[in-house]
Structure 1
């Protein structure tokens, strides 16, 4: 096992459970587009991937329609959706333990950076992170491959072996694989065991406790 020095965390489905805020904001946006989805459980697929991808994939919206849907989504998300969210149990404990090991912690998310920073501040865990990298509000830098590459460039003095990406969807694992770094898939979020295992993560865990165990074992080497 490698001794990791820079730990990358996805946000939605990995650090916190954002289901209520995201699905209700998507539902609001779709209503504005004259698309009715009464059951928000049908919108769980929006948790994790870039919105540009999900609106097109699930509702066949074209580029102009998708842009408008994202504007509607952000109306509600900025007002209340980002706070309809809760930390997974023991996440602050694992973050504290990792910082005690003098590790570099980074958020790597497809959510816009500005919203991600506000959510971390809301939960009072922003001080654990050395860097927060998300997408841009203009729709650029949305893929996990781009986001992880940006982080690697920010820590150019470190080797690829020093990095590990933690996330709950295939996009997290594929982004890590595309950049040549290790990864941990977490099944307590919104990606299925099948989705994550097919993406070939370095490790696969089912709980925050198992995640902490792997990361602490790495530091004990």
Structure 2
């Protein structure tokens, strides 16, 4: 794995964050008088940006979307961020990659501010050579732009040795856009058949299988 660069998504790839995200969305919607009872549907919103989630599913104007995002962060910043857990064996995967000389980066659509808090909370921040997320002001939410920023930080290394690991189509399409090898994880939040449609180089069912892709 020496000279390999491995970019990880966060939600649905490193951590099972669905409880906190679903509760934060429910809180945001409730404050705006919107009732949502389908928790399974809400789980499918883990991955896209908040603006995309609220705009495509609940609100037709930017003002309401922005208010929903503010409501969401009100709950998330105090409670939702910690309603979260590491997937089994993720720590072993990160340690193995680093011990064998690999470079590890985080490429998440979650604001980098919150991503750093989460990695620190679980004590895994020191495994990451770079942590890149969206901006709190709502910019740089496209996974292609996030991956570009990671690659730029490392001087655009040989893409034959760079892997993008994620659970949603956005991760795979973002990786392919930059010519990276892609690993789709089925233990996350992708809808049925979502990963197959975007044809990642590898599809795996557990974190440990990530190590078999290098």
Q: TM-score, normalised by structure 2?
A: 0.96
Partner of 2:208: 209
Give the Å deviation of 1:61.
3.4
- The answer to whether the 8 A contact 2:2-2:102 is kept is no
**Does the aligned pair in 1 maintain the 2:2–2:100 contact within 8 Å?**
no
Contact 1:133/1:147 (<8 A) preserved:
yes
Q: Which residue of 2 aligns with 1:198?
A: 197
Q: CA deviation at 1:57?
A: 1.3
- SS of 2:118's equivalent in the other structure is helix
Q: CA deviation at 1:3?
A: 7.5
Partner in structure 2 of residue 101 of structure 1: 100
Q: Distance in 1 between matches of 2:47 and 2:186?
A: 13
**1:5-38 Cα shifts (integer Å, max 9, x gaps):** 1100000000010011000000000011110113
2:194 maps to 1:174 = no
Report what 1:34 is aligned to. 33
> How far apart, in 2, do the equivalents of 1:120 and 1:80 lie?
16
Task: Give the 4+ runs in structure 1 shifted more than 4 A.
Answer: none
CA contact (8 A) 1:24 1:40 kept: no
* Pairing 1:129–2:123 present: no
Structure 1 equivalent of residue 46 of structure 2? 47
Q: Is contact 1:105-1:129 (8 Å) kept?
A: yes
Q: Does 2:137 correspond to 1:144? A: no
Is residue 3–residue 101 contact of structure 2 (8 Å, CA) maintained in 1?
Answer: no
Measured in 1, the distance between the counterparts of 2:117 and 2:125 equals 9
User: Which has the larger displacement, 40-49 or 140-149?
Assistant: 40-49
Displacement, 1:108?
A: 0.4
Unaligned runs of 5+ in 2: none
Say whether the 8 Å CA contact 2:44–2:191 is kept in structure 1. Answer: no
Work out the CA distance in 1 between the residues paired with 2:206 and 2:118. Answer: 22
Give secondary structure in 2 for the equivalent of 1:46. coil
SS in 1 for 2:193: helix
CA deviation profile, 1:43-90 (whole Å, cap 9, x unmatched): 112211111111111214321111110000000000010000010001
Unaligned runs of 5+ in 1: none
Are residues 6 and 27 of structure 1, via their aligned partners in 2, closer, same or farther at CA, if it must alter by over 3 Å? Answer: same
Q: Hey, which of these two has a bigger chunk of helix by percent? A: 1
Q: 3-state DSSP class of the match of 1:12?
A: coil
Superposition pairs of residues 4-83 of structure 1, within 5 angstroms = 5-83=4-82
- C-alpha separation in 2, matches of 1:31 and 1:113: 26
The whole-number CA distance in structure 2 between the counterparts of 1:14 and 1:98 is 16
Q: Deviations over 1:107-145 (max 9, x none)?
A: 000000000000000001111001100000011100100
- TM-score of the pair, normalised by structure 1: 0.93
Question: C-alpha distance in 2, partners of 1:4/1:164?
Answer: 11
